[in-house]
C-alpha cells in the first residue's frame, strides 16, 4: 500500500514536471519565433491559417510541432535550474544563457555562423533578455501580483514592441514584408501560447521543479547527442561553446547553497486568477496598429543600433552573473 502511494505520488510529480516543461516551451516559443518574427515559423502559421482546408488542425499541428522542439530547450533549462540553480538572480541568468545557446546550437547551428558575434546574438542578446527576463520571469511576476491594470499594460506593451520589432523584416536583409493584417493574424494565433504556457506553469509548477537524477541524465544525454551532431563540423568553436556551458554550470553548482529571490517565482503559493490570463486576448490589435503605422510611413526600427546594444547588454549580463556566482561561492 505504501509502495503504491509512493508510486502514485512519483507519477503525479513527473506529470507536473512535464506540464511545466510544456508551459515553458510555449513561452519560449512565442518569444523566440513569433515575437522575434522569424520568417519560416510565421509564414508557416499564416499558411496554416489561410491556405489549409482544415485551418484549426493545421494551426494546431504547426504550433504543436514547434512546441515539441522547444520542449527540448525548456526541459534542459528547467533541469539546469532545478539541479544546479541556487535561486539567485545570477543563477537564473546563467541558466537562461545555457537555454539560449541550446536554442541556437542543438537543432539549428546558428551559434557557429559568425563567431564571436554569433556566440552572443541571439543566444544572449535575445534569449536571455527577451525570452527569459522579459517573458518567462517578468510576465509571470506581473500575473502573480494579480493587478488587472498592470497585466493589461504588460500585454499591451508587449504587443507594441511586437509591432515595432516586426518592421525589421523589410529593412533587414531578407526583404520579407508582412502585411498589417498578417501581423494581427499572427498575434491573434500566437498570443494564446503565452496564455496556455503561463497557466500551465502556474498550475503545474506550484512545487519546485526537482527532476530525478535519471531524468537529468537522459535530458543531458539527449542534448549532448544533438550538440555533437550539429557541432562536429564546427570545431573548435563547438568546444569553446561547450566550455562556456560547462563554466556556467560550474558557477551555478558552486553557488547552489545561497538563498535567493526565485522562490516566489518557482513556487507560487496561490496561482493568479484565471481571468487575468484572458487579458492577453485584448491586446493583439496593438501590434497590428503599430506595425501598420510604421508600414504606411515606410519606417522601421534601427536594428543596426538596437541589435548591437542588446548583444552587448546580454553579454555584459552573462559576465556579471558568472563573476557574481563564482565570487559568492
Cell of 146: 494579480
pLDDT, tens only, 289-300? 999 998 887 777
What pLDDT score was predicted for residue 206? 47
User: Average pLDDT, whole number, for the chain?
Assistant: 88
pLDDT, tens only, 45-81? 999 999 999 999 999 999 999 999 999 999 999 999 8
What pLDDT score was predicted for residue 4? 54
CA distances from 29 to 14, 33, 322 (A): 22, 6, 26
3-state secondary structure of 134: helix
Residue with cell 514592441: 161
* Residues sharing a CB contact under 8 Å with residue 184, sequence separation 6 or more, in sequence order: 284, 285, 287, 288
Cell of 296: 504606411
* Percent of all residues in the chain with a pLDDT value above 90, rounded to a whole number: 63
What pLDDT score was predicted for residue 263? 43
pLDDT, tens only, 122-165? 999 999 999 999 999 999 889 988 899 999 999 999 999 999 99
> Can you tell me the distance from the alpha carbon of 119 to that of 216, in angstroms, rounded to the nearest whole number?
25
As to burial, measured by CB atoms within 10 angstroms (0-12 exposed, 13-18 middle, 19+ buried), residue 309 is exposed
Instruction: Report the predicted TM-score, pTM, of the whole model to 2 decimal places.
Output: 0.93
For 38, half-sphere exposure in the C-beta direction (CA atoms, 13 angstrom radius) is 13
* Out of 107-121, 154-168, 250-264, least confident range: 250-264
pLDDT, tens only, 279-290? 988 888 899 899
Asked if pLDDT for residue 259 goes beyond 90, the answer is no
What pLDDT score was predicted for residue 13? 84
> Can you tell me the distance from the alpha carbon of 78 to that of 209, in angstroms, rounded to the nearest whole number?
7
What pLDDT score was predicted for residue 269? 63
Structural domain count, the chain: 1
Range(s) of the domain holding residue 269: 2-328
Asked if pLDDT for residue 202 goes beyond 50, the answer is yes
Q: Which position has the higher pLDDT, 178 or 101?
A: 101
3-state secondary structure of 212: coil
Strands annotated E in 3-66? none
Give the residue from 16, 34, 17 showing the smallest Cα distance to 75.
17
Angle between the N-to-C axes of helices 213-231 and 237-254, in degrees from 0 to 180, rounded to the nearest 10: 160
pLDDT, tens only, 94-110? 999 999 999 999 999 99
What pLDDT score was predicted for residue 266? 52
Is 147 in contact with 167 (CB distance < 8 Å)?
no
Angle between the N-to-C axes of helices 138-145 and 180-204, in degrees from 0 to 180, rounded to the nearest 10: 70
What pLDDT score was predicted for residue 170? 56
Instruction: Give the chain's largest Cα–Cα span.
Output: 71
Highest mean pLDDT of the ranges 195-204, 253-262, 291-300: 195-204
What pLDDT score was predicted for residue 136? 93
Amino acid at each position: 500500500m505504501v509502495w503504491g502511494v509512493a508510486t502514485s505520488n512519483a507519477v503525479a510529480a513527473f506529470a507536473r514536471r512535464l506540464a511545466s516543461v510544456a508551459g515553458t516551451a510555449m513561452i519560449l516559443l512565442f518569444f523566440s519565433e513569433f515575437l522575434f518574427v522569424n520568417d519560416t515559423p510565421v509564414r508557416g502559421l499564416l499558411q496554416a491559417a489561410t491556405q489549409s482546408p482544415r485551418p484549426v488542425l493545421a494551426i494546431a499541428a504547426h504550433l504543436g510541432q514547434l512546441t515539441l522542439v522547444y520542449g527540448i530547450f525548456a526541459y534542459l533549462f528547467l533541469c539546469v535550474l532545478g539541479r544546479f540553480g541556487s535561486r539567485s538572480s545570477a543563477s537564473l541568468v546563467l541558466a537562461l544563457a545555457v537555454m539560449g545557446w541550446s536554442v541556437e546550437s542543438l537543432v539549428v547551428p546558428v551559434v557557429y555562423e559568425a563567431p564571436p558575434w554569433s556566440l552572443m546574438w541571439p543566444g544572449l542578446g535575445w534569449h536571455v533578455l527577451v525570452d527569459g527576463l522579459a517573458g518567462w520571469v517578468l510576465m509571470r511576476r506581473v500575473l502573480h501580483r494579480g493587478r488587472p491594470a498592470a497585466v493589461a499594460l504588460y500585454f499591451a506593451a508587449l504587443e507594441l514592441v511586437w509591432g515595432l520589432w516586426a518592421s525589421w523584416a523589410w529593412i533587414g536583409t531578407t526583404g520579407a514584408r508582412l502585411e498589417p493584417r498578417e501581423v494581427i493574424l499572427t498575434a491573434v494565433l500566437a498570443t494564446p501560447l503565452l496564455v496556455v504556457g503561463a497557466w500551465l506553469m502556474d498550475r503545474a509548477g506550484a512545487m519546485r521543479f526537482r527532476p530525478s537524477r535519471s531524468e537529468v541524465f537522459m535530458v543531458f544525454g539527449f542534448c549532448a547527442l544533438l550538440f555533437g551532431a550539429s557541432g562536429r563540423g564546427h570545431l573548435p568553436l563547438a568546444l569553446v561553446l561547450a566550455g562556456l556551458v560547462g563554466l556556467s554550470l560550474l558557477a551555478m553548482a558552486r553557488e547552489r547553497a545561497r538563498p535567493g529571490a526565485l522562490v516566489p517565482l518557482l513556487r507560487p503559493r496561490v496561482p493568479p486568477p484565471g481571468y487575468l490570463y484572458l487579458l492577453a486576448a485584448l491586446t493583439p490589435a496593438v501590434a497590428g496598429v503599430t506595425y501598420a503605422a510604421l508600414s504606411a510611413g515606410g519606417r522601421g526600427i534601427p536594428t543596426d543600433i538596437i541589435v548591437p546594444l542588446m548583444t552587448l547588454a546580454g553579454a555584459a549580463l552573462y559576465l556579471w552573473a558568472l563573476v557574481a556566482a563564482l565570487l559568492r561561492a
